[in-house]
Structure 1
Amino acid sequence: MASAIPQARFDYTQAMEFLLQVVQDISLARDLPRLMEIVRHAARTLTGADGATFVLRDGDQCYYAEEDAIAPLWKGSRFPMRTCISGWVMMNRAPVIIEDIFADARIPIEAYRPTFVRSLAMVPIRAKDPVGAIGNYWARLYRPDPLQMKILQALADTTSVALENVQLYNTLENRVLERTKELEKANEEIRQLSLTDELTGLNNRRGFSLLACQLLRTTKRSGQANWLLFADVDGLKRVNDGMGHEAGDRLICAAARALRDTFREQDILARIGGDEFVVFGVGECAAAEARDRLQTSIDRHNAYRGNGPELSMSFGIAQSKADVSLDALISQADSAMYTAKRGRPEHLYAGAAEPMQQGAMLPDQRASR
């Protein structure tokens, strides 16, 4: 901030030098509070006043937004423009000097009586369609000379430009923020699309691999058991060929709902192929219990399927506490699922699900039993 000028007598040249420093400070202001802070201090310093206010037009009211004074004035207050001297200045687009506030009918005396003010000078911020005013106040009878008023008006004109710059800067900043949010949202949507199956809303193969591998590493460190279920929809090709791909898509979505209804929120569900689904979870998995829950979900769908295809799924499960890879678990569960599928009548593309297979034991489990 520019340093203050001596106030023993008004020196126009020195005041102009000070104003130039103030203009530089104003040019760096990027928000309204900082701009008002600079202007209120400069207005008081330039004229040797005992107080200065920064007034903004707010509809048909005058808002005393900021002040710098020897005692409180009206900061934070709003007054109707028609009853306020700052309102008079804005409505008449002209500066005003009132040497004695008690002798001027434009002054609302009751508002001024509690204050130190005896004299004032006020200038509009922007001569055409003013957006505010800058007021200077003295605790004694005082009449600023024309040069002081010229300096004060120059400060107000500079403030007018600065207000427009702040508004433009804030508009641009808001646009940047909005654009950034839009980009972040778009990136999140892209990320979700890259990890999520568009048809079912489950994880896709990539999403499943990322989440399941992370969870598998956790179970290895803690020594927890884990399990993986592999399932596919029976007879999907027959449905697509005989009833159309839209019916096939509905059947796939029904299978996804059945899996969601059966397994826990913390289990990782995914569609990893056209009719293939996997579920990965932590802890011991009671195959018979899981089978019954899944069958109940499938039966619920079939009871309300209307004219749509009946849902039937084949599935197998693998369990292990060993240090095995996710691919190994998938392979074991996939093998168990095909064991179940081979026992199904080939002409059926729908029907009640076969009992869930326990799945082939992993090598380390076979050795331990």
Structure 2
Amino acid sequence: MTVEISIEADYTSRMERLLQAVQELSLARSLPEIQVIVRTAARELTGCDGATFVLKDDGFCYYADEYAIAPLWKGGRFPLDNCVSGWAMHHREAVVIPDIYVDERVPHEAYRPTFVKSMVMVPIRKVDPIGAIGNYWAYEREATEKEVFLLQALADSTSIAMENVAVYAELEERVRDRTAELEMANDEIHKLSITDDLTGLNNRRGFYLRSDAALHAARRQGGSCLLVFLDVDGLKLVNDAQGHEVGDDLLVDVAGLLSGTLRESDVVARIGGDEFCVLIIGPDCDQAALRSRLLKAFDRFNESSDRSYVVSASIGMVPVAPADADTIDELLARADELMYEEKKGKPTSRRLA
């Protein structure tokens, strides 16, 4: 009677250990987590000397993990038809081997270097198995029906946990993809909100955002800047005489000339119908040199182009010293006045807008 109570109590404690493992598996979110839970529980459920976690891998048995008194086959791959775990997966049933050296299913050469004398192997998921759990003893022993039951129950719970991990990983991937798509969409929306549709330059909002930040950075570093205000000459004449599509071509050409003449670090924008602004940062702040470069670029374009119009612009430039505390609006107002003075000095046919 005392022996029966002891056996029953032992089985009860093992069932409790199985339930603990099932709970742990339900919370696992990765295959390595599952492997640690299973290899540990497998040994404790049967009191074996070693446990392996085997995965079916493209015609092979991959010994992904182990927990044993001495090394077994962790990291090894063996053909499904030459491995006890492969037999268990192929036949979808548990394998109990009291003496490995009298069972023809055991590749003896692979086992001779190990401590293993007896074993039990159960498939992970009987319908279309995806792996197996192996238990090993260092002495001849036949696993009991209750031990096989416990181990198979662990394997069944393992299959569910692995499926959950796969679903969880897929959901995480979808969330990451969706997040990346939203970030790209937000970046595109932001880009569109600061970009001029016609020329691809910064629009007024983009100019204020970028130039304000650049101006503050230059002042902190003690650098000089140059604000340039350009008004395209004769846009109204082109629009009235040749149509707005040709007028748009003129604006696009001016934008291209500015981008091609200035540096990528300079802030270039179209802030109105025929108005362009540039904030030059750093060493290229010489007004005469910059004006010369712009006018030469316009001249080269006019000499080589077959356009029906001439590219020209009135320009106002305001140097910004590090100690200059004017805002972008105040600097633009000063540059606008200088630009207008230059425009008034041009022939009427060139300055009408």
TM-score, normalised via structure 2 length: 0.90
Relative to structure 1, is the Cα distance of residues 249 and 59 closer, same or farther in structure 2, using a 3 angstrom cutoff?
Answer: farther
CA distance in 2 between partners of 1:304 and 1:106 (Å): 86
Equivalent positions of 1:280-299 (< 5 A) are: 280-283=279-282, 285-299=285-299
What do the CA deviations read for 1:115-153 (whole angstroms, capped 9, x no partner)?
111111111111111111111111111110101000000
- Does residue 129 (structure 1) correspond to residue 106 (structure 2)? The answer is no
Question: 2:59 corresponds to which letter in structure 1?
Answer: D
Pairwise CA distance, 1:244: 3.8
> Helix, strand or coil for the counterpart of 1:229?
strand
Aligned partners of 1:111 and 1:62: how far apart in 2?
Answer: 13
- 1:300 is displaced (CA, Å) by 3.8
Distance (whole Å) between structure 1 residues aligned to residue 154 and residue 300 of structure 2: 77
* Contact 2:203/2:269, CA 8 A, preserved across alignment: yes
Within 5 A, what are the aligned runs for 1:115-264?
A: 115-264=114-263
Contact 1:40-1:52 at 8 Å conserved across structures: yes
- Over the aligned positions, Cα root-mean-square deviation in angstroms equals 2.3
Distance 1:223 1:97, change over 3 A: closer
- For residues 152 and 72 of structure 1, the distance between their equivalents in structure 2, rounded to whole angstroms, comes to 21
Deviation at 1:298?
Answer: 2.3
Match of 1:316 in 2: 316
Q: Which residue of 2 aligns with 1:359?
A: none
- Inter-partner Cα distance in structure 2 for 1:307 and 1:202: 22
Name 2:109's counterpart in structure 1: 110
In the alignment, the residues of structure 2 paired with residue 102 and residue 111 of structure 1 have an alpha-carbon distance, to the nearest angstrom, of: 11
Q: Deviations over 1:205-239 (max 9, x none)?
A: 11211222223334444554322100122222333
SS in 2 for 1:11: helix
Q: Secondary structure at the match of 2:236?
A: helix
Q: Distance in 1 between matches of 2:112 and 2:73?
A: 12
State the one-letter code of the partner of 1:318.
V
CA distance in 2, matches of 1:94, 1:10: 28
Cα distance, 1:34 vs structure 2: 0.4
Counterpart amino acid of residue 314 in structure 1: S
Name structure 2 gaps, 5 residues minimum: 1-5
Moved more, 296-305 or 266-275: 296-305
1: CA distance, partners of 2:102 / 2:81: 18
Question: CA offset at residue 45 of structure 1?
Answer: 1.0
- Indicate the larger mover: 25-34 or 313-322: 313-322
Is the Cα contact below 8 Å between 2:344 and 2:351 reproduced in 1?
no
Checking the alignment, whether the CA contact within 8 Å between 1:267 and 1:280 is kept in structure 2 is: yes
Q: AA paired with 2:45? A: L
* Letter matched to residue 331 of structure 1: A
Question: 1 CA distance for matches of 2:54 and 2:306?
Answer: 71
> TM-score by structure 1 length?
0.86
Is the Cα–Cα contact under 8 Å of residues 250 and 311 in structure 2 kept in the other structure? yes
Q: Deviations over 1:159-196 (max 9, x none)?
A: 11111111111111111111111111111112222222
Kept in 2, the 8 Å contact 1:125–1:132? The answer is yes
Q: Secondary structure at the match of 1:75?
A: coil
1:289 to partner: Cα distance: 1.1
Q: Contact (CA 8 Å) 2:62, 2:77: kept in 1 or not?
A: yes
2:299, 2:57 → 1: CA distance?
A: 66
* Shift of residue 89, structure 1, vs aligned partner: 1.1
Query: 209-218 vs 89-98, which deviates more?
Result: 209-218
Give the whole-Å Cα distance in 1 for the aligned partners of 2:351 and 2:343.
Answer: 11
Unaligned residue ranges in structure 1 (runs of 5+): 1-6, 351-369
Question: C-alpha deviations, 1:223-267, integer Å up to 9, x for none?
Answer: 543221001222223333444433333322221221122222322
Superposed CA deviations along residues 16-72 of structure 1, whole A, max 9, x for unmatched, are: 111111111111111111011101110111011111111111121111111111111
Q: 1:78 to 1:274 in 2, by over 3 A?
A: farther
Instruction: Verify the 8 A CA contact 1:239 1:349 in the aligned structure 2.
Output: no
| Matching residue's letter, 1:112 | Y
Q: Partners in 2 of 1:118 and 1:10 — Cα distance? A: 28
Instruction: State the Cα distance separating 1:307 from its structure 2 match.
Output: 4.4
Cα 1:336/1:254, change in 2 over 3 Å: same
Q: Which of residues 333, 344, 347 is equivalent to 1:345?
A: 347
- Report the more deviating stretch, 223-232 or 84-93: 223-232
Give distance in 2, aligned partners of 1:249 and 1:309: 12
Most deviating of 163-172 and 295-304: 295-304
Amino acid in structure 1 at the alignment position of 2:343: K
Cα deviation for residue 304 of structure 1 reads 4.7
Asked if residue 330 in structure 1 is aligned to residue 339 in structure 2, the reply is: no
With 186-195 and 46-55 compared, the bigger mean Cα shift is at: 186-195
d(CA) in 2 for partners of 1:304 and 1:127?
79
